[in-house]
């Protein structure tokens, strides 16, 4: 093969800069197209059933009706009405009290159990399983099971009280105890989950740090306060935010245990939304309250991601 | 700081030492006993209500009100279970629940694995923005969008067969959980980049890489996401409550809740329905416990 023909063959094979650019663009186009084919099946329902309803929800809060008839634009009227609606403020207050009580109780107990399970490993599998079982039941079923614990006539608590020679308590006769019954159902259901969560967090603490503290003469409680707690704090904060988000949506147990009663003492935010939308047909207030819930949850989501981010930023220094 | 030890001539060091050792052993034993006592109490608290539920399901409802209560009935009364199976639509509710949660799980797995892979391993314009949208909507509760969803589904024209009280109407709005995509992306990011690159150099197309390399390696996370989605949806209450109005389209949660009457409630029947629902689930859980625990922890966004 002569040098000349070889050069010509090479020229045919190589691309001019313009051709090269075009080929590159074609390649990228095809690569993007293929990538979009992976994403589109998800984003069609995602846009249709989540993003669009989000904006629609906000738009609806300036309307009335629309569930059975057609919607009517009313401007800011819904917002003015719910601003003065004591049932809504009561519902939000109840939800907040419920969340604080439930999270405080379940976190305290779960942390205690996690510490014990972390220290006493023998047989811990059985206890983990036992604690996990209530999580398998839907909240509705947990509420109904809870009826057998709290009912005035045949509830476990009252049966025990009568056996002890004490009187029965009407747990659902008064707002404070009725709300506590709902808290109890949530604590009972969530205990296993949070115990396992804290146990995983505890086991992620490097053993060397605790050993070093032991060598330095720190006693059990000191080690817990000075080593375990500071290392656990980021996970704890994140867990609290997640738990608030979850607990602000409490509805199922309210539905089967109290229906918001007595009076409005166990009415929660989602219960309020559901009742106004699908029971009382006071759609305007329901729409506005749903946007309120949305704002609260979005705000808390932002906080949780900020916490995760700050944990990641801190990590290099800890290592 | 340890107290200074004064050694006197008269004391016998060995006796002191063994006394101290005995004391610390007793203390150690006592702590252990206390710890296991606490654990046992809480295990009992979580398990006793389930056992307590068994008793009324095998008794006539009026016997619930007798005192002292008969924990263990004289004769097993099976009328409650008979009632649940034949006087209510329980079998249909169970079937509906399987269809509802099963279909959502199947569709979610397909969509989320594809999207999760694209977000973790493929380059395309708008990737960051789209994933940001997914993250921002990660925790949107159904209650916040239930009104527009209901309006959408109830307005679908008849020929789509997807309105209120239909399976597509119940299932479709629930298939777009951002949490699943987020989880899949996190899992897929652990995939070694070199593996994908090697396949690409060997001339495999993106689809082939996904089918032949990514999917087989991602089997465990896919199972975890599947269990997580199914568990999340079979307990779903608000959406099935809103979108079903006829008795034979209800899911188990809505159906069992409807057994609780406005004025009179047959607690024997309710306990029987609860027992029939929860005990099979506990059995499945005991068989596949490892996967269950992993699935529930994955939901906590642990990273």
**Cβ–Cβ contact B276 with A under 8 A:** no
* Percentage of residues in chain A having pLDDT higher than 90: 34
Name the H helices within A151-282. 156-163, 175-203, 207-215, 220-223, 229-247, 252-257, 269-274
Phi/psi of residue A143, nearest 5 degrees: -60, -45
Most trustworthy range by pLDDT among A169-173, B73-77, B272-276: B272-276
Q: Which residues contact B199 (CB under 8 A, 6 or more apart)?
A: B208, B209, B212, B213
How far, in Å, CA of A195 to CA of A313, rounded?
A: 27
Identify the pLDDT of residue B302: 41
The SS3 of residue A73 is: strand
Smallest Cβ–Cβ distance between B35 and the set A54, A119, A283 belongs to A119
Domain boundaries, chain B: 79-298
Identify the pLDDT of residue B121: 86
Contact A127 B238 (CB under 8 A): no
Q: Is the predicted pLDDT of residue A317 greater than 50, yes or no?
A: no
Chain B residue nearest residue A29, CA to CA: B124
Identify the pLDDT of residue A311: 63
Q: Is the predicted pLDDT of residue B254 greater than 90, yes or no?
A: yes
Average pLDDT, stretch B62-74? 68
**Cβ–Cβ contact B172 with A under 8 A:** yes
A135: nearest Cα among A246, A259, A261: A246
Q: Out of A236-250, B58-72, B128-142, B213-227, which region has the weakest mean confidence (pLDDT)?
A: B58-72
Contact A188 B42 (CB under 8 A): no
Q: Is the predicted pLDDT of residue B301 greater than 50, yes or no?
A: no
B208: nearest Cα among B219, B223, B198: B198
Q: Is the predicted pLDDT of residue A108 greater than 90, yes or no?
A: yes
Average pLDDT, stretch A171-179? 88
Q: Residue B64 CB: number of other CB atoms within 10 A?
A: 19
Contact A274 B301 (CB under 8 A): no
Q: Is the predicted pLDDT of residue B10 greater than 60, yes or no?
A: no
Identify the pLDDT of residue B157: 81
**Cβ–Cβ contact B198 with A under 8 A:** no
Contact B46 A200 (CB under 8 A): no
pTM, rounded to two decimals: 0.85
Contact A308 B301 (CB under 8 A): yes
Average pLDDT, stretch B106-126? 92
- Residues of chain A with Cβ-Cβ distance to B139 below 8 Å are 245, 297, 300-301, 304
The residue written with tokens 């993106």 in the block is B206
Contact A42 B133 (CB under 8 A): no
Identify the pLDDT of residue A110: 94
Q: For residue range B217-233, what is the model confidence (pLDDT) as tens digits?
A: 888 889 889 988 998 89
Smallest Cβ–Cβ distance between B242 and the set A34, A123, A278 belongs to A278
Identify the pLDDT of residue B298: 67
ipTM, two decimals, is: 0.85
* Percentage of residues in chain A having pLDDT higher than 70: 96
- Residues of chain B with Cβ-Cβ distance to A245 below 8 Å are 139
Identify the pLDDT of residue A57: 92
Distance from CA of B125 to the nearest CA of A (A): 7
Identify the pLDDT of residue A166: 83
Average pLDDT, stretch B28-43? 89
Contact B147 A57 (CB under 8 A): yes
Smallest Cβ–Cβ distance between A39 and the set B35, B118, B260 belongs to B118
Q: Cβ distance A133 to A278 under 8 Å?
A: no
CATH pick for B79-298 out of 1.10.3720.10, 3.40.50.720, 3.10.20.740, 3.40.47.10: 1.10.3720.10
Identify the pLDDT of residue B264: 73
* Percentage of residues in chain B having pLDDT higher than 90: 37
Q: Cβ distance B258 to B250 under 8 Å?
A: yes
How far, in Å, CA of B228 to CA of B299, rounded?
A: 7
Phi/psi of residue B73, nearest 5 degrees: -65, 150
Query: Going from the N-terminus, what domains does chain A have, and what CATH number goes with each?
Result: 3-60 (no CATH), 80-318 (1.10.3720.10)
Identify the pLDDT of residue B1: 43
Distance from CA of B274 to the nearest CA of A (A): 7
How far, in Å, CA of B205 to CA of A310, rounded?
A: 39
Bridge partners (DSSP) of residue A73 are A63
Q: Residue B170 CB: number of other CB atoms within 10 A?
A: 25
**Cβ–Cβ contact B38 with A under 8 A:** yes
Contact A138 B152 (CB under 8 A): no
Chain B residue nearest residue A256, CA to CA: B257
- Residues of chain B with Cβ-Cβ distance to A244 below 8 Å are none
Contact B235 A197 (CB under 8 A): no
Contact B150 A66 (CB under 8 A): no
Chain A residue nearest residue B287, CA to CA: A129
Average pLDDT, stretch B99-103? 96
How far, in Å, CA of A240 to CA of A94, rounded?
A: 18
Q: For residue range A58-101, what is the model confidence (pLDDT) as tens digits?
A: 999 998 887 877 788 888 888 988 888 888 999 999 999 999 99
Q: Out of B20-24, B202-206, B260-264, which region has the weakest mean confidence (pLDDT)?
A: B260-264
Contact A156 B48 (CB under 8 A): yes
Identify the pLDDT of residue A273: 93
Which is higher by pLDDT, B12 or B249? B249
Smallest Cβ–Cβ distance between B69 and the set A112, A129, A159 belongs to A159
Q: Cβ distance B162 to B255 under 8 Å?
A: no
Picking from B29, B36, B39 by the largest number of A CB atoms within 10 A of its own CB, the best residue to mutate is B39
The two most distant CA atoms of chain B are separated, in Å, by 103
Average pLDDT, stretch A190-209? 88
> Which DSSP helix (H) or strand (E) runs through A63?
strand A63-64
Identify the pLDDT of residue A319: 36
């Amino acid at each position: 093969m002569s040098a000349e023909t070889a050069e010509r063959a090479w020229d045919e094979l190589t691309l001019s800069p313009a051709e090269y650019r075009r080929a590159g663009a074609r390649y990228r186009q095809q690569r993007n197209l293929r990538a979009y084919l992976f994403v589109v099946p998800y984003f069609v329902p995602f846009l249709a059933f989540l993003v669009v309803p989000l904006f629609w929800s906000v738009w609806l809060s300036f309307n009335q009706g629309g569930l059975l008839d057609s919607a009517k634009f009313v401007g800011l009227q819904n917002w003015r009405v719910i601003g003065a609606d004591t049932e809504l403020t009561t519902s939000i207050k109840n939800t907040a009290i419920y969340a604080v009580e439930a999270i405080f109780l379940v976190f305290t107990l779960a942390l205690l159990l996690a510490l014990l399970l972390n220290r006493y490993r023998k047989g811990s599998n059985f206890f983990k399983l036992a604690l996990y079982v209530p999580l398998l039941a839907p909240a509705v079923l947990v509420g109904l099971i809870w009826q057998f614990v709290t009912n005035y006539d045949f509830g476990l608590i009252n049966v025990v009280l009568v056996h002890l020679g004490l009187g029965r308590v009407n747990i659902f006769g008064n707002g404070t105890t009725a709300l506590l019954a709902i808290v109890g159902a949530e604590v009972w259901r969530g205990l296993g989950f949070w115990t396992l969560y804290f146990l995983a967090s505890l086991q992620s603490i490097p053993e060397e740090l605790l050993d070093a503290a032991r060598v330095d003469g720190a006693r059990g409680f000191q080690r817990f306060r000075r080593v375990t707690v500071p290392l656990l704090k980021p996970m704890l904060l994140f867990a609290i935010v997640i738990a608030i988000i979850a607990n602000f949506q409490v509805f199922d147990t309210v539905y089967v245990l109290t229906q918001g009663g007595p009076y409005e003492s166990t009415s929660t935010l989602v219960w309020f939304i559901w009742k106004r939308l699908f029971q009382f047909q006071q759609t305007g207030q329901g729409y506005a309250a749903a946007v309120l819930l949305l704002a609260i949850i979005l705000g808390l989501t932002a906080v949780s991601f900020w916490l995760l981010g700050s944990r990641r930023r801190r990590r290099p220094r800890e290592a | 700081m340890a107290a200074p030890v004064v050694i006197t001539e008269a004391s016998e060091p060995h006796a002191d030492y063994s006394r101290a050792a005995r004391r610390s052993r007793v203390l150690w034993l006592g702590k252990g006993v206390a710890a296991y006592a606490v654990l046992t109490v809480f295990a009992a608290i979580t398990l006793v209500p389930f056992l307590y539920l068994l008793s009324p399901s095998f008794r006539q409802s009026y016997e619930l009100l007798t005192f002292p209560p008969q924990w263990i009935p004289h004769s097993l009364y099976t009328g409650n279970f008979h009632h649940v199976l034949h006087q209510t639509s329980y079998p249909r509710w169970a079937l509906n629940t399987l269809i509802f949660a099963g279909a959502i799980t199947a569709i979610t797995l397909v969509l989320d694995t594809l999207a999760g892979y694209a977000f973790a391993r493929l380059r395309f314009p708008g990737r960051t923005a789209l994933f940001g949208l997914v993250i921002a909507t990660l925790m949107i509760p159904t209650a916040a969008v239930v009104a527009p969803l209901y309006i959408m589904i109830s307005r679908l024209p008849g020929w789509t067969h997807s309105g209120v009280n239909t399976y597509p109407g119940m299932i479709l709005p629930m298939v777009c959980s951002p949490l699943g995509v987020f989880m899949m992306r996190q899992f897929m990011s652990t995939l070694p980049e070199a593996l994908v690159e090697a396949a690409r150099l060997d001339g495999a197309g993106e689809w082939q890489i996904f089918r032949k390399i990514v999917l087989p390696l991602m089997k465990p996370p896919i199972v975890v996401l599947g269990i997580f989605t199914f568990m999340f949806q079979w307990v779903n209450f608000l959406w099935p409550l809103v979108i079903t109005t006829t008795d034979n389209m209800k899911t188990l949660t809505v159906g069992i809740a409807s057994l609780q009457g406005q004025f009179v409630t047959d607690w024997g029947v309710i306990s029987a329905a609860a027992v029939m629902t929860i005990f099979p689930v506990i059995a499945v859980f005991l068989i596949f416990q490892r996967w269950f625990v992993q699935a529930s922890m994955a939901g906590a966004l642990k990273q």
